[in-house]
Amino acid sequence: MGQRRLNIGFVALTAAIGGLLLGFDATVISGVVPFIREYFALDGAGGDLKLGWAVSSLGWGALAGNALAGVLSDRLGRKKVLLSAAALFVLSALLASLATTLTAFVAARIVGGLAVGAAILIAPVYIAEIAPAQRRGGLVSLNQLMIVIGISASFFSNYFLLEVGENNWRWMLGVQVFPALLYLLLLSLIPESPRWLVIKGRDEQALDVLTRVGGAAQAQESLQQIRQSLAAKNVSHGWRALFDRRIRLVMLIALGLAFFQQITGINAIFYYLPTIFAQAGGGVADAFRQAVIVGLVNVVMTVVAIWLIDRLGRKPLLVIGVTGMAVSLLTIAWAFNVEPNQAVAGAAPLTTNPQLVLIAIIGFVASFAISLGPVMWVLLSEIFPNEYRGVAISVAGFWNALVSASVTFVFPWELSTLGPAGTFLVYGLFASAALLFVLVFVRETKGRTLEELEGELLSRPKSTPA
Ligand code: BGC
């Protein structure tokens, strides 16, 4: 086999297109909602639940994708799972854009969800497994960044496609075929994960990949390290680990953060953004334009968070950000609180101040993007000791996706039943509880070794050192 040198930046970027696609696929629905509601005649209370089902179907599919991807990627390899995800992204975009019944639409979105669930898990694993140690952190955050860029791209694309006619929502969903095909093509050019190859006893192939990534000398060293870490992994505790008393506190922190990240409504806001802005009393085009601004704020603040996380620390970012989230959500609730006399007089849904709704939503997204958004994932990767990490992260990730799917499912019903003010009040109260949770339970992990953290975070087995 030829020893063409591989550009690791290109390899990581290729894998990270998975992040871009999943971000795009998740939020593209926000532009589609106003139109499928009409097309599939989703009226009344039953219609609200059906709309919630149509929007959250991607999330339910992602749960399944999540559960399957780990096993399949161990059996078939990381690259094959990513290739399958790319193919499913293409298929889902085609089927959803052509759907003429709600059932076909939901089925197509579930297929997309399988791809999302697989990509969200396996793209970062693949990058971490192929990147040289000294560049790993940066290259893995690239994937995070691509997710928020994908979210932003979908708001842009929806805005540009809004005026293409009555099939606009089909185009919004369908354009994803192009980046997904590109993903498929580029993936075929990158090698299998060397770590997986070693797991399968294919050391020669692994060495070949490692040589192409870092040169012959480094390849030998990396191969050694992989073998060592695999030997250490044999002491992995499996599912029983979750009930281990030693990790009770870290498990509580992980599950708590995963819960609060979703119950405070980020994805309800992202998946229904133009609908929310329309409730605030603006026109459709305005609502789509405002979504673009929100997407850009999310990208910029994620970059700020990546920059701040090792300087300021995780806990200060969480405290500042979650406070901002609570204040913003309560402000949205207040802004939506229609004066009784206005409500009677006005036929259209009036708010005390539509500008304030926009500003507060921007404030909420900015606060989320510098805190719970990225920091939760960083903490998850840090607080568990090696031998518990894999299984604990899968469980916390699954729990996070479950809460997300549930929140986006009930949102239309909640909006009709409690009204926007009541809905955002609930989110605001959860954000206040999240702040309390962070203050009481979260410990700083910045610049500390895992061994130091273990002393503080884990309950000691028997003897208590001084
Ligand atoms: C969350 C996603 C969310 C995204 C928004 C992530 O940290 O886990 O559910 O859609 O942030 O940027």
Residue nearest to atom 12 of ligand 1 (CA): 148
Point out the ligand 1 atom lying closest to the alpha carbon of residue 374: 7
Q: Which of 103-117, 128-142, 331-345 has the lowest mean pLDDT?
A: 331-345
Closest ligand 1 atom to Cα of 148: 12
Q: Give 236 Cα–ligand 1 centroid separation in angstroms.
A: 29
Q: Give the closest residue to 178 by CA, choosing from 268, 81, 86.
A: 86
Query: Please, are residues 94 and 115 in contact by the beta-carbon 8 Å criterion?
Result: no
Q: What are phi and psi of 324, to 5 degrees?
A: -60, -40
Q: Using CA positions, which residue lies closest to atom 8 of ligand 1?
A: 373
Token pair of 52 as six digits: 């919630």
Residues 6+ apart with CB under 8 A from 117: 61, 62, 63, 64, 65, 66, 67, 68, 69, 401
Ligand 1 pocket, mutate which of 21, 56, 116, 147 (most atoms under 8 A from CB): 147
Out of 176-190, 282-296, 330-344, give the one with best mean pLDDT: 176-190
Centre of ligand 1 to C-alpha 374, Å, is: 8
Mean pLDDT to the nearest integer, 348-361:
78
Question: Distance from the CA of 373 to the center of ligand 1, in angstroms?
Answer: 6
Q: What is the pLDDT of residue 460?
A: 56
Pairwise pLDDT comparison (108 vs 383), residue with the higher score: 108
Is 6 in contact with 211 (CB distance < 8 Å)? no
Q: Which atom of ligand 1 is nearest to the CA of 147?
A: 12
Name which residue sits closest to atom 7 of ligand 1, judged by CA: 373
**Nearest protein Cα to ligand 1, atom 10:** 267
Average pLDDT over residues 353-382: 92
- Going by pLDDT thresholds of 50, 70 and 90, the confidence category of residue 347 is very low
Alpha-helical (H) ranges within 246-310 are: 248-263, 266-271, 273-279, 284-308
pLDDT for res 340: 39
How far is it between the farthest Cα atoms of the chain?
A: 78
Please report the atom of ligand 1 found closest to the CA of residue 377.
Answer: 7
pLDDT tens digits, 34-67: 999 999 999 888 999 999 999 999 999 999 998 8
User: For the chain, what percent of residues have pLDDT higher than 70?
Assistant: 90
d(CA 122, CA 163): 36
On whether the 8-190+233-459 domain is CATH 3.30.450.20, my answer is no
- Amino acid present at 99: A
**Per-position DSSP letters for 307-321, written without gaps between them:** HHTTTT-HHHHHHHH
Kindly give the distance from the C-alpha atom of residue 263 to the centroid of ligand 1, in angstroms, as a whole number.
Answer: 12
With cut-offs at 50, 70 and 90, classify the pLDDT of residue 342.
very low
CA of 2 to the centre of ligand 1 (A): 41
Alpha carbon of 189 to ligand 1 centroid (Å): 29
Residues with CB under 6 A from ligand 1: 148, 151, 261, 266-267, 270, 298, 373, 404
Mean pLDDT of the region 264-271 = 97
State the closest ligand 1 atom to the C-alpha of 267, by its place in the atom list counted from 1. Answer: 10
- pTM, two decimals, is 0.89
Among 5-9, 59-63, 144-148, the range scoring the smallest mean pLDDT is 5-9
Domain residue spans of the chain: 8-190+233-459
What is the pLDDT at residue 180? 97
Give me the mean pLDDT over the 441-464 stretch.
67
Residue 104 sits at φ, ψ, to 5 deg, of -65, -40
Within 10 angstroms of residue 259's Cβ, the number of other Cβ atoms is 20
Is the confidence at residue 2, as pLDDT, over 60?
Answer: no
d(CA 47, CA 297): 32
The ligand 1 atom nearest the CA atom of 26: 10
